[in-house]
Structure 1
Amino acid sequence: MNVKSKQAAMSAKLTKAEQTLRTRRAILDRARHLFATKGYMATGTEEIISELEITRGALYHQFNDKLGVFRAVVAEAYDEMTDYISAKVQPLDDPWEQLVIGCQAFLEIAQQEELRRLVFIEAPAVLAADTLVEFDQYGFGLLHEAIQIAVNEGKLNTINAEGFAHLVNGSLNELAAWVAQSNDPERLKTAQRLVETLLIRHQN
């Protein structure tokens, strides 16, 4: 194969790879909109692909089935949540303030329309508990790290940092599910005060 032929072959491969990525992105964007507005059960694969000019086979090739699409959508939603919380705490220098603001930022997400339904309403009803734990591992790791830093710097008093991280994480998930049931901003403020009170009780 001469140089030009090799270059043409490489270009074709890149083009195919790029097309695959574009198709995947289009499916995820369309599915996210439908799952967030109609819910998982009310969304069919035909509706996902109907406006994309792709075949059902293309969807199955990328994700195996509708559940696979939903898993990928929710995984991206969890990444967005982590980015949102990180953006809230990064400008802060005090570990205690980072911990409190980070927890409160997580609760704010429960009233952000698309993420609220995807993460706190649809995902628990559709996905297995161990899948949700897997998605939450990175976020939990950040929470555990923030608690450990606060303990190490003498700002938080607890008998076990990892156990306390699980306690706070469980409380946050329950409060977020409660917040997600309503658009009332007062419910969000109440939840944020509750988690702050939980943390303050362990503050040095």
Structure 2
Amino acid sequence: MPVKLTKAEQTRRTRRAILDRARHLFATKGYAATGTEEIIRELGVTRGALYHQFGDKLGVFKAVIVEAYDEIAAYIQAKVQLLDQNWQQLIVGCQAFLEVAHQEELRRLVFIEAPAVLAADDLVELDQYGFGLLYASIQLAVAEGELDTIDAEGFAHLVNGSLNDLAAWVAQSNDPNRLKTAQSLIETLLVRHRSSRN
């Protein structure tokens, strides 16, 4: 006899099913070409369940993008966690962010669909965690005498803006050379500001 799910577990499973289906559709067809009916059609859930969980299609999309940003953070963390030196972590972390722009699903969701669908304030809010990590790493590089800049916070914004624009550029092409070029450019930007003491 199957175990009867609690209401909370049913709700969690419904939410997960909607997010997984929506992510697939948004990543393959795009936001504009995906309707709420298509999201729920094969799931056996009602439109009311979707609206109850997320409010509307935009709410579903935002939830998908929040999870995508969490994946990006985890991907970068996995790339840098075995490195001992902050300077190496800074460069590899920036390059790892650009690698995400070449990963098919995340590329479409984060660097193509999200900027077209979400308001600028939403994008800034989503980027706060990643920016915070970047800023902390740059502050540490300055404190350790690795980085020579007139203002750590301003430099963090400079690097972050460069990363976001380069990622969008990488996302527009399947050419692996574009990714390599972008990674070289961000490394050059950082190295040129490296303290002459190193």
Matches within 5 A, 1:72-151: 72-151=63-142
- Superposed displacement of residue 40, structure 1: 0.1
TM-score under structure 1 length normalisation: 0.93
Structure 1 equivalent of residue 55 of structure 2:
64
Structure 1 distance, partners of 2:167, 2:155, is 18
Can you list the C-alpha shifts for 1:127-173, whole angstroms capped at 9, x where unaligned? 00000110110000000001011111111111111110000000000
- Superposed displacement of residue 66, structure 1: 0.2
Unaligned stretches of 5+ residues in structure 2: none
TM-score under structure 2 length normalisation: 0.96
Structure 1 equivalent of residue 31 of structure 2:
40
Is 1:181 equivalent to 2:182 in the alignment?
A: no
Describe the SS at the equivalent of 2:146: coil
Task: Count the aligned residue pairs.
Answer: 193
Is 1:201 equivalent to 2:192 in the alignment?
A: yes
Amino acid at match of 1:52: L
Amino acid at match of 1:58: A
Structure 1 equivalent of residue 13 of structure 2:
22
Structure showing greater radius of gyration is 1
Structure 2 distance, partners of 1:153, 1:51, is 55
Structure 2 distance, partners of 1:22, 1:160, is 47
Percent sequence identity is 79
Describe the SS at the equivalent of 2:194: coil
Unaligned stretches of 5+ residues in structure 1: 1-10
